[in-house]
């Protein structure tokens, strides 16, 4: 008899697996990995922290893939070649899920074939693309060795975990802040009903917006760092001064896209711009950034600065590799201004979400927020405008969803 099932929160930046003992109904262990794959060569690839370690120790040669979750709704993405081998979106997701499953199976001593997978409320606002993403996620789980697969909205899963901590019934707003999306759910929670199989009537409303922690990192890159690589410069085109193409600098705001600038024709253009700008040092820095695959390392520095600003008012952002010597001061006020548009998008969606629910805001007893970006002060400010401080609660920013997914197994099993 199988004694365990897994809850897996497959995330844009990190993935978390939680092990549920179905006999004791208790979570026995939860662990996480970066949602990263590094292909060193045609035969060797690594997942998670090992991927990052091998990528950096191998002088950032080979191919590092991040934000793989964002490929799921992209109908235009059918496959990519990596060292001559063809990989679909399902293949790439499968490698991460399979890695997590293998690690967990070794811990429990079973080949666990049942899983509750998290999914954002909205993979895509295009219904066809949303359905494609869900289908691809299920197919990836099957390829990874799972036979019984349930899907659960990620904020609903977080709600089931929060439910374990309350003493009496509450109407709760759940917010899940990931790398690529922000999702909300209004739920009626009651600890006495936590093992009931029919909870559909308790889930009052769910919705999401495509804004997350990765957007904050991209905003820092755009507002503070692209100027070091030539943004704002003009080049001489047969005696006429023209602005350097903005698409180059937009590409820099997604480090995984930087590799495209290394391709033949685009890379040759960078050499031309170096000459046409009278050998401007900023273009030389841009070439170094691209040629030495420094995008990932630079974004690690950016992300750390963002994290530090959740604990302090000022940070100094330093980056020194391959002759690139970048230094920028970033205050909390600067950061709040940089991400204002993204925060406004989240606030606008949340306000509309609550209004459309038909529920008076005073009827919401508590707010439970989780996810990596939930500790960002600008994110917290959205809730502080609407709710008293004592109503706002946060959980384990990285593990709450996976644990809630596992705990929702009984409810989902009853609905099957």
Burial of 316 from C-beta contacts in 10 A (0-12 / 13-18 / 19+): exposed
Yes or no: say if 117 and 150 are a contact pair by the CB < 8 Å rule.
yes
Yes or no: say if 404 and 157 are a contact pair by the CB < 8 Å rule.
yes
User: 321-342 as b/e, with b when 16 or more CB fall inside 10 Å?
Assistant: eeebebebebebebbeebbeeb
Q: Which of the following CATH numbers is that of domain 4-168+396-415: 3.40.50.720, 3.40.50.170, 3.20.20.140, 3.30.420.40?
A: 3.30.420.40
Yes or no: say if 414 and 198 are a contact pair by the CB < 8 Å rule.
yes
Instruction: Collect the ranges in the chain with pLDDT lower than 50.
Output: 416
The three-class DSSP label of residue 48 is helix
To which residue do tokens 């929670």 refer? Answer: 189
Report pLDDT for 162.
Answer: 86
Residue 167 structure tokens: 């003493």
Q: What is the pTM of this model?
A: 0.81
Sign of CA dihedral 166, 171, 175, 176: positive
Report pLDDT for 395.
Answer: 73
Report pLDDT for 196.
Answer: 61
d(CA 142, CA 93): 11
| Sequence ranges of the domains in the chain | 4-168+396-415
Report pLDDT for 121.
Answer: 83
User: 255-286 as b/e, with b when 16 or more CB fall inside 10 Å?
Assistant: bbebeebeeeeeeeebeebbebbeebebbbbb
- Give 26-83 pLDDT, tens digit per residue: 999 999 999 999 999 988 999 999 998 898 888 778 888 888 998 999 999 998 889 9
Report pLDDT for 416.
Answer: 44
d(CA 155, CA 184): 6
Yes or no: say if 299 and 255 are a contact pair by the CB < 8 Å rule.
yes
User: 178-204 as b/e, with b when 16 or more CB fall inside 10 Å?
Assistant: bbbbbbbbbbbbeeeebeeeebeebbe
Report pLDDT for 197.
Answer: 56
């Amino acid at each position: 008899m199988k004694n365990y099932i897994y809850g897996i929160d497959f995330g844009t930046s990190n993935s978390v697996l939680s092990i549920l003992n179905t006999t004791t109904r208790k979570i026995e262990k939860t662990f996480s990995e970066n949602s990263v794959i590094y292909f060193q060569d045609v035969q060797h690839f690594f997942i998670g922290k090992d991927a990052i370690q091998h990528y950096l120790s191998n002088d950032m040669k080979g191919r590092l893939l991040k934000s793989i979750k964002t490929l799921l709704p992209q109908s235009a993405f059918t496959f990519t070649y990596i060292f001559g081998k063809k990989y679909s979106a399902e293949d790439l997701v499968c490698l991460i899920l399979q890695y997590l499953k293998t690690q967990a199976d070794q811990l429990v001593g079973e080949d666990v074939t049942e899983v509750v997978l998290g999914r954002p409320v909205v993979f895509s606002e295009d219904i066809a693309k949303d359905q494609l993403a869900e289908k691809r996620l299920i197919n990836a789980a099957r390829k990874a060795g799972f036979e019984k697969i349930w899907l659960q909205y990620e904020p609903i899963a977080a709600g089931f975990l929060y439910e374990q901590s309350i003493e009496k019934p509450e109407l709760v707003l759940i917010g899940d802040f990931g790398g690529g999306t922000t999702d909300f759910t209004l739920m009626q929670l009651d600890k006495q009903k936590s093992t009931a199989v029919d909870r559909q009537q308790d889930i009052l409303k769910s919705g999401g917006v495509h804004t997350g922690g990765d957007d904050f990192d991209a905003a820092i890159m755009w507002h503070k760092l692209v100027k070091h690589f030539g943004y704002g410069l003009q080049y001489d085109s047969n005696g006429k001064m023209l602005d350097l193409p903005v698409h180059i600098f937009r590409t820099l705001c997604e480090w995984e896209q930087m590799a495209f600038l290394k391709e033949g024709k685009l890379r040759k253009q960078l050499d031309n711009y170096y000459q046409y700008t009278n050998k401007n040092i900023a273009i030389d820095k841009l070439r170094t950034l691209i040629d030495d695959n420094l995008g990932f390392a630079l974004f690690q520095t950016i992300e750390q600065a963002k994290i530090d600003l959740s604990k302090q008012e000022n940070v100094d952002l330093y980056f020194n590799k391959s002759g690139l010597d970048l230094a920028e001061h970033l205050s909390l006020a600067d950061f709040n201004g940089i991400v204002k548009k993204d925060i406004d998008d989240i606030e606008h969606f949340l306000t509309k979400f609550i209004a459309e629910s038909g529920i008076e805001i005073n009827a919401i007893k508590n707010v439970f927020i989780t996810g990596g970006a939930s500790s960002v002060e600008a994110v917290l400010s959205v809730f502080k405008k609407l709710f008293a401080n004592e109503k706002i609660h946060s959980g384990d920013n990285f593990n709450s969803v996976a644990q809630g997914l596992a705990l929702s197994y009984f409810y989902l099993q009853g609905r099957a």
